Structure 1
Amino acid sequence: MTPELWWMTWTAILAGSLWIPFIVGVGTAPQGTWPEGTDPFVTPMDPNLQRPWVRRAFRAHLNLLEQFLPMLALVLIAHAAGVSNAATVWATGLFFALRLAHAAGMITGTARMPLRPILFTSGWVCILVVAGAIILT
């Protein structure tokens, strides 16, 4: 297994696990949190229905999925094309670390402006590095 696929495996595990904080938050909501006729899974971002950290957990999961799909596609394209170099290895490893830091910071509320957008944008730069390695090879 290439290092790039190794890091994408861990990122996939993270993406497949980030639903857990949201479900825990919904499942531990105080009695009466959900007004009659509302569904926490249909309206997860409604500020009137969710505690702030539960909304942030939902967004952290969505933010990871927004970047994981393009990164995974590029890593698979690079793998199929035989493109692997120090830049792609570093970009995929850093991508995982950034996504982990972004999720933890977002859920806990510690990654505020400007840190959270810097983490997200840095993940995008990692995507561009892998894309550039493919295009320039």
Structure 2
Amino acid sequence: MTVELHYLAFSILLVFVQLFLAAAGATKARGLKWNAGARDEATPPLPPVAGRLDRAFRNVLETFPLFAAAVLLTHAAGVHSALTSFGAGLYFWARVAYVPLYAFGIPYVRSMVWSAASGGIVLILAALL
């Protein structure tokens, strides 16, 4: 398996971790009955950290499909280089760093880390073109 596919697998695990963190935060704030229920009624806003974990999870869902597609394209095209490996690693490690930066409300650095992760996707695509 290529380095890029390894980072894709690790990124899938990271998305699950973020899903569980967001769900745990929401359940802690709203209760187990809310979590097990149909959630038909309006829900109260989440407290700050739980809300940030939820938003960080939703944020990874915006970029992960692009990353996955880029990695799968490199695999299908047989394009594997230092640039694709670096781009995949940059995406993964920046997304790892993004979670605590967002959870603890650290501005600016969080945005730079998001840009770095997005830059990893761009590097993979650049290697394809």
1:113 shift after superposition: 2.3
C-alpha deviation, 1:30, in angstroms: 6.8
Distance in structure 2 (CA, Å) of the matches to 1:103 and 1:74: 22
Equivalent residue of 1:84, what SS?
coil
| Alignment of 1:26 onto 2:22 | no
Q: How much has 1:5 moved relative to structure 2?
A: 0.2
Distance 2:67 2:27 in 1: 32
Deviations 1:33-70 (A, max 9, x none): x9xx4236xxxxxxxx2101111011111111111110
Measure, in 1, the Cα distance between the counterparts of 2:30 and 2:90.
Answer: 38
SS at match of 1:29: helix
Q: What are the Cα deviations for residues 2-27 of structure 1, in whole angstroms up to 9, with x where unaligned?
A: 00000110001111221112222222
- Taking a change above 3 Å as real, the CA distance of residues 30 and 127 of structure 1, as seen in their structure-2 partners, is closer
Q: Which amino acid aligns with 1:94?
A: L
Q: State whether structure 2 residue 112 is matched by structure 1 residue 118.
A: yes
Contact residue 49 and residue 104 of structure 2 kept, 8 A: yes
- Give, as a single letter, the amino acid of the residue that structure 2 aligns with 1:79: H
Residue type matched to 1:65 in 2? Answer: L
Are residues 23 and 80 of structure 1, via their aligned partners in 2, closer, same or farther at CA, if it must alter by over 3 Å?
Answer: same
- The correspondence for 2:94, drawn from 78, 95, 98, is 98
Residue 2 of structure 1: aligned partner:
2
Superposition misfits of 4+ residues, deviation over 2 angstroms? 37-40
What is the aligned residue count? 121
TM-score (norm 1): 0.81
Partner of 1:38: 42
Structure 2 unmatched ranges of 5 or more: 35-40
Equivalent-residue separation in structure 2 for 1:123 and 1:133 (angstroms):
16
CA RMSD of aligned residues (A): 1.7
Query: Is 1:128–2:110 an aligned residue pair?
Result: no
2:83 maps to which of 73, 87, 110: 87
Give the counterpart letter for 2:85 in structure 1. Answer: V
What is the identity percentage for the equivalent residue pairs of Structure 1 and Structure 2?
30
| AA in 1 matched with 2:43 | D
